[in-house]
Copies of this chain bind each other. A is one copy, B any other.
């Protein structure tokens, strides 16, 4: 409780009741989630509020967006010490085609790629798709 408030304040985000709830939801969840997921978890909350809360969280380095190729944006809590407001943390993401869940593989960074002359890379997105550990039964 108090801890979450501190965390938010440290990131310059006012710890409102709503925001604390949302943060809690995210912290308990191990995998990534979509706006709709969180919307279903909190019947009370308005979609827009959740949307803007996540946006605020993102702008202040609390969560990061994930584009896993499903067409719906996913979010995940940033790791401790992740400073993705300043520079991107280019870890890869895995999307399971069986359970449809997307996970951050924060240990696995996107390898450096040599581009043709003239191309300047500033950002990268690598998504692997297949069967996750839970679904592969191992």
Interface, chain A (partner B; CB < 8 A): 67, 69, 71, 92, 94, 97, 105, 107-108, 110-111, 113-134, 136, 138
**In the complex, which residues of chain B have a beta carbon less than 8 angstroms from the beta carbon of A108?**
113-115
CB atoms of A130 and B121 under 8 A apart:
yes
**In the complex, which residues of chain B have a beta carbon less than 8 angstroms from the beta carbon of A111?**
111, 113
Listed by A's residue number, 8 A-B pairs whose Cβ atoms lie within 8 Å are A94-B121, A108-B115, A118-B136, A118-B138, A119-B130, A119-B132, A121-B130, A124-B126
CB atoms of B97 and A122 under 8 A apart:
yes
Report Cα–Cα, A136/B114, bound state, in Å.
16
CB atoms of A131 and B122 under 8 A apart:
yes
Report Cα–Cα, A113/B109, bound state, in Å.
10
**In the complex, which residues of chain B have a beta carbon less than 8 angstroms from the beta carbon of A121?**
94, 128-130
**In the complex, which residues of chain B have a beta carbon less than 8 angstroms from the beta carbon of A114?**
108
